[in-house]
């Protein structure tokens, strides 16, 4: 049994206090991760808030997640990339502008 599984069960059932503990457990790490990706304080905070909103919105599915760290990291990465795409006006990432990489 995962140490957080009791909180996960409570979150699934709508326990906001358990959700607050969940956010406290992950928020700092996720914020630093997003900040490293996008380099701006307020947008990083927004992305992390969006991640937690997504978790709460889909809380009924949390019981089936084997690796919560990987799952929440993936959501965070996708939200950060979506933010960057929106900000740059690009819908696709392209490697064409990078140029040649020489070892």
Q: Quick one: pLDDT at residue 89?
A: 77
> What residues contact 75, with CB distance under 8 A and at least 6 apart?
51, 54, 55
pTM (two decimals): 0.78
Rg (CA), the chain: 16
Whether 91 has a pLDDT exceeding 90, the answer reads: no
Q: Which of 6-15, 31-40, 92-101 has the lowest mean pLDDT?
A: 92-101
Q: Quick one: pLDDT at residue 1?
A: 43
Query: How sure is the predictor about 96, in pLDDT bands with cuts at 50, 70 and 90?
Result: low
CATH 3.20.20.70 at 5-88, yes or no: no
CB neighbourhood size of 83 (10 A): 19
Q: Which of 10-24, 28-42, 87-101 has the lowest mean pLDDT?
A: 87-101
Q: How open is the CA angle 79-56-48, to the nearest 5 degrees?
A: 35
Q: Quick one: pLDDT at residue 6?
A: 86
Higher local confidence (pLDDT), 32 or 88 = 32
Reading the block at residue 75, the tokens are: 């959501």
| Beta carbons of 23 and 32 less than 8 angstroms apart | no
């Amino acid at each position: 049994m995962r140490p957080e599984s009791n909180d996960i069960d409570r979150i699934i059932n709508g326990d906001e206090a358990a959700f607050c503990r969940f956010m406290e457990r992950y928020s700092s790490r996720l914020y630093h991760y997003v900040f490293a990706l996008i380099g701006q304080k307020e947008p990083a905070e927004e992305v992390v808030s969006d991640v937690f909103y997504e978790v709460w919105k889909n809380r009924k599915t949390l019981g089936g997640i084997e690796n919560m760290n990987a799952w929440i990291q993936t959501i965070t990465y996708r939200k950060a990339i979506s933010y960057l795409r929106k900000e740059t006006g690009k819908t696709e990432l392209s490697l064409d502008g990078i140029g040649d990489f020489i070892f």
